[in-house]
A and B are shown apart, each in its own frame.
Chain A
Amino acid sequence: MSSILTSVVAHGLKETLEEIVDDSTDGIEAAAVFTQWCDIRTMEDNYEDDLEMAGPGYASEKPESQETAVGTIREGAIYRYLARTFALKLIVSEEAIEDVKYDKIIDAAMRLKRSLWKTADVDATNMLVRATNASYVYGDGQPLASNAHPLPNGGTFSNTLATPLAPSRQAVIIATSTIRKYPGHDGTTEGFEPVSILSPTEQWAEWDGVLLSEKAPEANQFNLINVANRLKLKNIPIKYWSNTTTNWCMTTDADNGPNFRWKRRPRNRSWVDNDHQVMKYSIDARWSRGTSEPRAILFSNA
């Protein structure tokens, strides 16, 4: 469709309606999901770069009087964040503005706000949707979840489970152990702590059972403490994660993981086109999203 003319909103031209049945536009910003699992930042320039650096690793044992071994540092991958612009406008005829009897029908500003925040949510979630898609790679040449993230000094590491696991206490145990042994950028064992579990919405009940039970939630194991519960992990079901019901990922406390950078927060405009006698309402924003740290997640690609 294009412009909003009186015929587009024909049933709102007289006060005959009891309710306007439509999607809610209340609290749309607060309802955004990506703010729960992305680090929300701002960016100043057209693009920003994050640089991976690797230290010298371990020290050497030095015989008496021998020269101290020399270490070095090495640059790794560059992660570039390009500001992208998202925008939408509504064109409403003056006749429609004058004649529609219900504010809620056109409600251009709130409709546009809903569109933009939903778009931001879906765009952020695409990081997870495309997590294993080799067409969508990051600065290290790998998708978000890969078993071959390169290390600056050579070698690779994996941030995806070799054997995918369904939501379970065992999955949490294996994932946590893997995360606690993640290599650092210099290749030495670093280790991180799990923070939350991101999952498609369909898994919420399974994760609640795994994470909230005080005792092990498996038959004949009810006297065993539930270590998954002691980790105090939070499950964040993501309703926009649409390409799977079986994948999930655990986030870690590694810095610079999935993040969302506002270049320009949502901005509303309205203006009149006198030639056509229409009002135009628009919303636009600029942002970038991505991750510079594969260690910030462990993915299960079931």
Chain B
Amino acid sequence: MADNMAKYGFRWSMSANSHPCPNPLRRTVADGYQAKADNTTSNVDLNIGDPVKAMADGTVALCNAGESVFGIIVGFEPYWNGSVMQPTNRLPGATTGGGLFERKSAALVVPANSGYWEVDLNAVAPGGTEATANAFIGENFDHAIVADVSNPSQPKANPKLFGAHTSATAQWRCEGVSTSIANQDFTGNYVKFIVRVNESQETPAANVVGV
């Protein structure tokens, strides 16, 4: 048995509306915000590929297991590192711009409901065969934030798809097994699935008042 090559977080696979390009929105991150993994003890940075939820104050924060999803981080604007605005591929925890508008931290977020996303499973897929992996199609999953602190100076949320069940309240719906050749051994970890958001903060079929 060999593990399949791991990839980080949620990756844009294809559009849900035929427009072949992810369309990010700018969302600020609250001053001093410190993301924590599901276990609430591991501090992690925000990284490209992390799922986020929309907060009441208009900012976004790491979306932990079971929470409704707003979108996926695909980039960052430069953040205030204490002395200058620093271009970055991650937003360190507890970053603060001191409340100044021009020093606000901001992430570029693609709404989860605008696409199909590829994500790794956080274990060996139950059954361990291509057939059993295909049987997950149509089932709902939560994701797990399983903190990767192997490089202590760059702690990552490391989101993965977690378990499989049919609960209507899970965050993601499995829409397919990734056709990436990286899915080489279904008895190994990190089998890649294609998912769509199931519990979205941006309800795609919202009731329109008055109609």
Identify the A interface with B (CB < 8 A).
1-3, 5-11, 13, 86, 91, 119, 122-123, 126, 129, 135, 242-243, 273, 275-276, 278, 280
Contact = CB atoms under 8 A, between A and B. Distances in A.
B87 A13 contact: yes
Nearest to A118: B181
B131 A2 contact: no
7 contacts: A1-B8, A1-B9, A2-B110, A5-B75, A13-B87, A123-B181, A135-B130
B51 to A, nearest CB: 13
A119 B181 CA distance: 6
Interface in B1-27: 1-2, 8-9, 11-12, 21-24
B145 to A, nearest CB: 17
Nearest to A136: B130
A122 B181 contact: yes
Interface in B100-129: 108, 110, 129
Contact of A5 (B23, B108, B129, B131): B108
A67 to B, nearest CB: 55
Contacts of B23: 276
A273 B20 CA distance: 10
B48 A7 contact: yes
A170 B131 CA distance: 39
Contacts of A10: 76, 86-89
Given A1-B74, A5-B108, A10-B88, 8 more contacts: A1-B11, A3-B24, A6-B75, A8-B75, A91-B21, A122-B184, A129-B185, A243-B185
B137 to A, nearest CB: 17
B55 to A, nearest CB: 21
Given A1-B48, A119-B181, A243-B1, A276 B21 contact: yes
A270 B101 CA distance: 38
A6 B22 contact: no
| B interface, over-half SS | loop
Most buried by B among A10, A119, A129, A273: A10
A1 B110 CA distance: 11
B167 to A, nearest CB: 28
B199 interface: no
A172 B175 CA distance: 48
Q: Which 3 A-B pairs have the closest CB atoms?
A: A2-B12, A5-B75, A10-B87
A242 B74 CA distance: 32
A126 B110 contact: no
Contacts of A273: 21
Contacts of B22: 2-3, 91
A87 B74 CA distance: 22
A209 B205 CA distance: 67
B89 A3 contact: no
B159 interface: no
A125 to B, nearest CB: 9
Interface in B59-87: 72, 74-77, 86-87
B155 interface: no
A69 B48 CA distance: 76
Nearest to B130: A135
B48 A242 contact: no
B92 to A, nearest CB: 12
B158 to A, nearest CB: 14
Nearest to A276: B21
Nearest to A96: B75
Nearest to B187: A243
Contacts of A3: 12, 21-22, 24, 74-75
A7 B87 contact: yes
Contacts of B8: 1
A243 B2 contact: yes
B21 A7 contact: no
A6 B2 CA distance: 35
A242 to B, nearest CB: 4
Nearest to A93: B75
A243 B185 CA distance: 8
Nearest to A240: B184
B21 A278 contact: yes
A277 B61 CA distance: 28
Most buried by A among B12, B21, B110, B185: B21
A198 B136 CA distance: 35
A7 B185 contact: no
